[in-house]
Chain A
Amino acid sequence: MPLSTQPPGSGEPYLLVASLDNARHLSSLLRAVHFQDHATCFASANGLRVTVEDAKCIQANAFIQAEIFQEFTVQEESVTFRINLSVLLDCLTIFGTGSLPGTSTALRMCYRGYGYPLMLFLEEGGVVTVCKINTQEPDELLDFDFCSTKVVNKIILQSEGLREAFAELDMTSEVLQITMSPDKPYFRLSTFGNAGSAHLDYPKDSDLMEAFHCNQTQTNRYKISLLKPSTKALALSCKVSIRTDAQGFLSLQYMIRNEDGQICFVEYYCCPDEDITEAEL
């Protein structure tokens, strides 16, 4: 269904034009980072990145590479705007969230630039919906400065093993404690709730463990309420990489395979709960 890139009569090209045959490829990923109403969108030639933050402690990013889109054009180096993610998701799923095989919502996203709304053209079964969502000034985003050289401990797990654990986390506990160590217990998730404490241990030689690179024993605590939303990303993903740096900052990277087999990433960064990260040696 052809949608012209430029609105009739206007000479200005859009700064960002993106087309997607199946809007679900985008909406499901955005849902995985949807724990706040607002998000910052950053588009570059590489693709689209949507960032959500909370409490200055946690940041989630959803990456949809340009290759996933059927068409993805960015006129300038990069385009950034802030948008209401709840509204965006509602629009993307305007034809319903049920996923019937064979039917999908086609999406065309256009953004004229600073001050203009984000235009969404959605079509399913011949019915077209046009949405205009106001954009805002992008916020200053946290920079966790998490680069591979600073990583102390790194584990890659098959998500299947963690999904149930995260879904059943004892929410009466204020923190989720993560222990990573070259010695026992290797990788442990702990909660301290009303009923008592609970520990989930993953041995390093488990079938679930795809990679285990722990150099130092680290135990860090993170506010469980901040990490709980990452369960959504975990549910979608097939693999997750868990990394911590010397200061106890946590990086969770989820590899998500969409319906067409394409790979996208979602990552969560979280600050440790206390300033002290005990590097127990």
Chain B
Amino acid sequence: MVHQHFKLVDVMTAAENIVIGQEKGVFTSKKRMAQEISALNEKYGLKIIPDKKIYNMSVSEKQSVEIMKILYRGADVLILDEPTAVLTPQEITALFDILRRMKEQGCSIIIITHKMAEVMDISDRVTVLRKGESIATVVTKETTPKQLTEMMVGGSVSLEIERPKVTLSEKPLLSVKNLTKRDYEGVNVLNDVSFDIYGGEILGVAGIAGSGQKELCEIIAGLDKANGGEITFDGDSILGLSPRAILKKGISMSFVPEDRLGMGLVAGMSVTNNVILKSYNRNRGPFLDRKFAKSLAEQIVSDFDISTPSVNHEVKKLSGGNIQKVLLGREIWLAPRVLITAYPVRGLDIGASYNIYRVINEQKKKGVAVLFIGEDLDVLKSISDRLMVIHSGEVIDIVDPEEVTKEDIGLMMLGHHREEGAV
């Protein structure tokens, strides 16, 4: 099985990771390992360099190592959990080539994915699961994305993501100039990042996972410090202020972080205690306003149609979609002027995802400036008004999503500027 989050030892080489836990006897022969690996490389069209350390590898290389681990064991059933979440379109094509080759060699492959295009592209048969139940297994050629979606959701949904036209604010609400951040090793994780977002606009951010998205969000929200640059909100500099100070300045910026249960919500607490996380301090005095908390929780539960047994239910026991709705509901209730969302639909089913897109679009219509960090390029292309592509902490370009193809975006995600053109 290839997990969504890789299980590799960073400081070891590819070869060491591959044979780990299965050497027979105490000694291993490096040479033999290398031979076996290159034999498998050839057989399946992989490109693994046995001596390369994992920490020097790109995400797609790491994934190849994960796949090789399984092949090396002689397995002929391969299970991949969301293998494409971290890959660029080009890398996905390469991965699918490998998978097809494995198929020809007689392997069985199970691929778990939430991207409809991939299902249609790679699979021979599709099994649709809903809430732990197998709904149906169909032959891919005989079905359509719409039909699959209906099976997933259990009703009909529109697969259109609308992009309403909204008049923009005159001046940018949030503007970031030359933002630079170095990690503790002195490596630039954000390098000279500049962009503006206007009210009533969704700025999509595309990039391979780990290209600086997390740092960017956390610096804007005041959770992390930058090494240089400027962030202004409606004309006021907010760089270096604590999250509390940013709130106190009357700047309403809502931040839906990537790590929902680890940062955005308190997993072990009730819905009520979670919705007041940012507003518990609004009344004076040392006591919590329990009445307000309860009514707010009930309001958010009904506004966002959250299915929970009660507002006293622990959030970690809710489903992914409902967890996300609690978080978004709380942030939106704060009536933000800037909404920062990172991977807001990660792990959600299609129905829940489209609900979230709708909510975000509603915010845009209200004149909120939205920074939307995503991973599915189809979604990013259709929801964003402008699309910023980042690579290794640098802004490669900000483009009109209508004017570029997914392949163009993919190349930019790898760091190629559009002007340079050819690869």
A, B assembled together: no
Residues of B whose CB lies within 8 Å of any CB of A are none
Residues of A whose CB lies within 8 Å of any CB of B are none
